Amino acid sequence: MQQRENAKNPKQTLQVRHSSFSAWQIGERTTGPKTLDLKSAQKHEKEKQQSASDQAGNSTQDHLEQALTYFERVKDYIPLKKNEVLQKHLATVENIALQRGLSPEGLDVLLNVALSGHLADTVNSRILKCLIPASVIAESSVVSAVSWLCVGKCSGSTQLLFLRWLIAMFDFIDHKEKLHALYGFFFCSLQDEKLCPYVCHLLYLLTRRESVKPFRVRRLVDLQAKMGMQPHLQALLSLYKLFCPELVSITLPAKMKTYFKNSESLWKAAINTIRRRNQGTSPTSQQLILGTCHPQSRKRKWNTQLILPACSTNTNNPTRSKEINHADILSHSESFPVEQLHTFSQLLQNLHRLEFPSQMGSVLRNSLLLHYINCVKDESIYLRLYYWMGQTLQEECTWYKLDNQQYEEEFKDFLDIVYKTECFLQEGFSSCEEFLYKSLPLWDGFCCRPQILRLVSWIPLSSFSEMKPHLCEPLAQLFFTSSLYFKCSVLESLKELLQNWLNWHVMQLDMESDPKISPLNTTLSGLVNSVAELIHFVGWISTVALRLENNATFLLYFILDFYETVCDVYLKYNLPLLLMPPPGVFYPALLSMDSVSLNQLCYIMYRYRTNLVAAKENELIKKTILQFKFSSQTYQEYNQYIMAMVGCLWTSSAFQKDIHPQGIRLDPEVLKKTRVQEVRNSFNIVHHPALTGYAILFLQQAWPKDKTLNFNLIKGRRWNWYLEYLYMQGLQGLKLFIESSINRVSQVSQTKSGNVQV
C-alpha cells in the first residue's frame, strides 16, 4: 500500500517523511541538521523516482536491508559531512525504525556500529535514538554492545545515551541471565560521575538478592559519603537494605518521591506508536505493553503482556527448553519460571523457588502471583511494585494530558486493574495514596471519576491529620459543587473506606492473638480517633448536602447506608466507638416523605440500641476499668433521638417530648397558630407522610366500602393489625425498632408506651 503511494506520488510521501524527520531532529544538538536533511531528502527524491519507475514492487524493506548491510560493513571512521551515502542510509533507518520498529538482527547491527566509534557522535546519537524494537532485543546484542563500552572507543555522551536506551528498553530484552553476569561491570561504572545516576537505575533493575555483597554495600556507602545524599544512590541502597538488611546499617529516608530521572522520554512516543500499530484495531488496549506475539521469546512475552502466556506457547520447543535449563544453571539453578505457573497446585509446589518477573507491573493481572505476594510478605516486592506503580500513575494520569480519549481509556483500564488488585490483596497501596493526595487537589471531578473514587476507598488507614488537607478538603470542595450523583458516589466510596479500615482492624485483632506476629504499630486510640474523624467528616458533608439537595431521598439513602456501618462498629468490628448521626441527618430521615428512609432509620436506631446495650453489659460484667468507655454523651444523644422518634411515631407527642436542642419541639402556642387539626398525631405511624400511603391501602382493604378514609379508625386492635400489615409490606426495620425500643404495656393500648432508656 505504502509502496503504491510512493510510486504514484513520490513528492507527497517525501514531504511527509521530511516533516516527521525534522520533528525527530528537534531534540538533537547537532548544528544544521536541517540542511543535511534537505540534501539527503533531495537525493532521496531522485532515487525514489528512479526506483519507483524501475521496480514498483520493491519495498522499503529493501532500503532497510541495504542500509543495514552498509552499516554492517563499516570498519573505519567515516565522517558525516558530505557523505551522502551515509546520510541516505541513516535516513532510511530512522524512518523505518520510528514507523515499525527494528528486528533483533537490525538492532544488533546498529548497536554495534553506534558504539564502535567508527561514526561521528551525532550519527551515533541519531542511531541510538531510533533503536526501537519491533518485537524484542536479543540479549547477545546487548552484551556485545556493553563489550564496546569496555574498549572505550565511544564518547561519554554516547555511553550515556546507550545506558538510557538500555534502561528504557530493559523490558524488551529477551533474556537477562547474561546481563546479570555483567552486574560487576556495571557496578564498576558507578565511579563515573556523569554515568552514575543511570548506572544506579540499571543496577536497580538488575539487582537480585545474590547481587548484594558486603563489598558493594561498602562501595555504595563510600560513594554516598563522597557525593552526598543522591536520590539514585539512596534508591539502590534501600533496595540492598531490603534484600539484606543485615549488611546495610545506615538509615535511609522511608519515603522518596522520585528516585531516578526519566530515561524513557526519548523513545516513549515511538514505542507507543509501534505498540498501537501492532495491536491493531482494539482501542482500549492494555497499558504499558507491546502487544505483539513473540512465540520465540519467553521473557518478552511475560514482560509485555501483563498476563501469562497460554500453555501451548511454551510446550513444543525443545531447543528453547534446553536454553532455559542452560540459563538456569548459569546463574539461577533454583528458580521456577513464572510463566510456567498455571495452577494453584503448581504455586504450592514451587512456592520456595519462585522469582518475580523483572517488570513488577505484570503481577497485577496474575492472581496466582498475587496469592504468592500475599503469602511471602516480602517488603522488597512491595517496594518494587510501589515504585513502578507510583511512576506509572504519575506519568499516565490523564488530567495532566489533554483531550486524549485513547489515553483516558487506557488510564481508566489501568486504574481498574490497580483497584482490583487492591481488592484482591485486601490492602491499599501507599503509591496510590500518594498519587491521590498529589492529584486530587487538581482534579476536575470528571476524569475517570468512578475509578478515582474507588481508589479512595482503599486509602490505607493513617492519621487523619494527614488525610484531611490532602483528601477531605479537595473532595469536599468538589462534593459541594457537584451533582447529586457525584455526592452519592463520594458517600459510597467513603463508606467503603470506613469498612476497609474496620476490616483491617479486625484482621489486626486476629493477628494480635497470634503471638508470633508483632503487634500493630498503630495504637488503638489512634485508630479510634481516625475512624471517629472520618465519621464526623461524613456527618458534616452529609448535613450540608441534604441542605443543598433539598433532602433528596436518593442522597438520604446513601447517607443512611453509611450509618448502617457506623451503628454496628462495636459489635460487628469490635471497635469501641459509637457515634450518633448529626441532627442534620437524623431529622430529615425521621420526617422524610419516603418509607424507605424511615425504615432505614428505624433499623439503624435498633442497631445502635443493640450495640449500646451490649457495651453497657460488658462494662457491668467485667467491672474492670475499660480503656475505652463510650462517653455519656453518646447515651444521652441516643436517648434524645429515641424520645423524639417514639414521640413522633408512637405516642403522638412529637412536638412536646422532643428534648434535642436542634429537634422539632414546638410551643403549644405556636402549634395552635398553625391551625392544623390534630397536630399531635400528624407524625405517628398512621399519619406520617412516609406511611400514609400504607394507611390508605390498609383502610381500603379493611373497609372496602368506606370511601371517606377515616384514619381514626386505626386504633386499638386495628392498630395492631395495621402494624402487622406494615411489617408484611417489608418494613422490617420498623418492626425491629418497635419490637425493641417500645415497651408495650398491653397489647391493646397504643398510648401507654415508653421508651427504654439505656
Partner 1 sequence: MSLVRPFDKLPTLNSAVILLVGTDERRQQQLAEAILKEKKNFKINIHVATSLPLPAERDHVRPRIDLIAFMINMQSKHSLRNVEASLSHIDANFFLGKVCFLITGVGRMNHCSVEMNAVRKLGNLYCSPVLFCELDSEGIRVATAQRLLRMLQICAGHVPGVSALFFSSLMKSSIDE
- Select the span of 58-66, 204-212, 399-407, 426-434 touching partner 1 (CB under 8 A): 399-407
Q: How far is the CB of 442 from partner 1 (least distance, A)?
A: 5
Q: Does 26 bind partner 1 (CB under 8 A)?
A: no
- CB closer to partner 1, 259 vs 443: 443
Binding mask 466-495 for partner 1 (x = CB under 8 A): --xx---xx-xx--xxxx------------
- Select the span of 52-60, 271-279, 437-445, 715-723 touching partner 1 (CB under 8 A): 437-445
Look at phi and psi of residue 709 and say left if phi exceeds 0, alpha if psi is from -120 to 50, else beta: left
Q: Are 135 and 290 in contact (CB under 8 A)?
A: yes
Q: Are 615 and 607 in contact (CB under 8 A)?
A: no
Q: How many residues bind partner 1 (CB under 8 A)?
A: 26
- CB closer to partner 1, 589 vs 714: 589
Q: How far is the CB of 482 from partner 1 (least distance, A)?
A: 6
What is the spatial distance between Cα 541 and Cα 535, in angstroms, rounded to a whole number?
Answer: 10
Query: Taking the mean position of all CA atoms in its chain, how far away is CA 91?
Result: 42
DSSP string, 232-282: HHHHHHHHHHHH-TTT--S---S--S--S---THHHHHHHHHHHHHHHTT-
- With b for 16 or more beta-carbon neighbours within 10 A and e for fewer, the 217-230 pattern comes to beebbebbeeeeeb
- Bridge partners, 743 (sequence order): 754
Cell 546479570 belongs to: 180
Cell 494453584 belongs to: 344
- CB closer to partner 1, 326 vs 547: 547
- CB closer to partner 1, 441 vs 460: 441
Q: Does 268 bind partner 1 (CB under 8 A)?
A: no
Q: How far is the CB of 711 from partner 1 (least distance, A)?
A: 30
What is the spatial distance between Cα 142 and Cα 178, in angstroms, rounded to a whole number?
Answer: 9
Taken in order 182, 185, 187, 193, is the CA torsion positive or negative? Answer: negative
Cβ-based neighbour number of residue 677 at 10 Å: 7
Q: How far is the CB of 396 from partner 1 (least distance, A)?
A: 12
Please tell me whether residue 119 adopts helix, strand or coil conformation: strand
What is the spatial distance between Cα 443 and Cα 690, in angstroms, rounded to a whole number?
Answer: 39
Q: Does 257 bind partner 1 (CB under 8 A)?
A: no
Q: How far is the CB of 538 from partner 1 (least distance, A)?
A: 15
Taken in order 376, 378, 382, 388, is the CA torsion positive or negative? Answer: negative
Query: Which member of 249, 513, 550, 674 binds partner 1 (CB under 8 A)?
Result: 550
- CB closer to partner 1, 213 vs 468: 468
Query: Which member of 54, 76, 403, 669 binds partner 1 (CB under 8 A)?
Result: 403
Query: Which member of 547, 672, 717, 752 binds partner 1 (CB under 8 A)?
Result: 547
Query: Taking the mean position of all CA atoms in its chain, how far away is CA 441?
Result: 17
- Select the span of 139-147, 369-377, 440-448, 516-524 touching partner 1 (CB under 8 A): 440-448
- CB closer to partner 1, 447 vs 524: 447
Query: Which member of 11, 401, 536, 616 binds partner 1 (CB under 8 A)?
Result: 401
What is the spatial distance between Cα 153 and Cα 143, in angstroms, rounded to a whole number?
Answer: 16
Q: How far is the CB of 480 from partner 1 (least distance, A)?
A: 5
Q: Are 680 and 652 in contact (CB under 8 A)?
A: yes
What is the spatial distance between Cα 127 and Cα 113, in angstroms, rounded to a whole number?
Answer: 9
- With b for 16 or more beta-carbon neighbours within 10 A and e for fewer, the 625-651 pattern comes to eeeeebeeebbebbbbbbbbbbbbbbb
Q: Does 140 bind partner 1 (CB under 8 A)?
A: no
Q: How far is the CB of 481 from partner 1 (least distance, A)?
A: 4
- CB closer to partner 1, 442 vs 517: 442
- CB closer to partner 1, 254 vs 402: 402
- CB closer to partner 1, 473 vs 594: 473
What is the spatial distance between Cα 209 and Cα 499, in angstroms, rounded to a whole number?
Answer: 37
Q: How far is the CB of 449 from partner 1 (least distance, A)?
A: 9
Q: Are 437 and 460 in contact (CB under 8 A)?
A: no
* Planar angle of CA 714, 717, 720, nearest 5 degrees: 75
What is the spatial distance between Cα 308 and Cα 450, in angstroms, rounded to a whole number?
Answer: 28
Q: Does 733 bind partner 1 (CB under 8 A)?
A: no
What is the spatial distance between Cα 727 and Cα 737, in angstroms, rounded to a whole number?
Answer: 11
What is the spatial distance between Cα 461 and Cα 523, in angstroms, rounded to a whole number?
Answer: 12
Query: Which member of 14, 224, 399, 671 binds partner 1 (CB under 8 A)?
Result: 399
- CB closer to partner 1, 478 vs 723: 478
Furthest-apart CA pair in the chain: how many Å? 112
602-641: which residues touch partner 1 (CB under 8 A)?
none
- CB closer to partner 1, 400 vs 721: 400
Q: Does 544 bind partner 1 (CB under 8 A)?
A: yes
User: H or E segment at 147?
Assistant: helix 139-151
Binding mask 497-536 for partner 1 (x = CB under 8 A): ----------------------------------------
Q: Does 269 bind partner 1 (CB under 8 A)?
A: no
Q: How far is the CB of 582 from partner 1 (least distance, A)?
A: 15
- CB closer to partner 1, 403 vs 669: 403
What is the spatial distance between Cα 374 and Cα 90, in angstroms, rounded to a whole number?
Answer: 50
Binding mask 349-388 for partner 1 (x = CB under 8 A): ----------------------------------------
- Select the span of 16-24, 322-330, 441-449, 686-694 touching partner 1 (CB under 8 A): 441-449
Q: Does 442 bind partner 1 (CB under 8 A)?
A: yes
Q: Does 402 bind partner 1 (CB under 8 A)?
A: yes
Q: Are 457 and 493 in contact (CB under 8 A)?
A: yes
- Select the span of 139-147, 234-242, 329-337, 397-405 touching partner 1 (CB under 8 A): 397-405
| DSSP character at residue 742 | E
What is the spatial distance between Cα 688 and Cα 593, in angstroms, rounded to a whole number?
Answer: 8
Q: Are 131 and 111 in contact (CB under 8 A)?
A: yes
Cell 521530511 belongs to: 18
Q: Does 254 bind partner 1 (CB under 8 A)?
A: no
Q: Does 425 bind partner 1 (CB under 8 A)?
A: no
Q: Does 554 bind partner 1 (CB under 8 A)?
A: no
Q: Does 50 bind partner 1 (CB under 8 A)?
A: no
Query: Which member of 77, 185, 344, 400 binds partner 1 (CB under 8 A)?
Result: 400
Query: Which member of 548, 591, 679, 758 binds partner 1 (CB under 8 A)?
Result: 548
Give the closest residue to 304 by CA, choosing from 330, 271, 346.
271
443-462: which residues touch partner 1 (CB under 8 A)?
443-447
In the complex, the residues that contact partner 1 under the rule CB under 8 A are 399-403, 441-447, 468-469, 473-474, 476-477, 480-483, 544, 547-548, 550
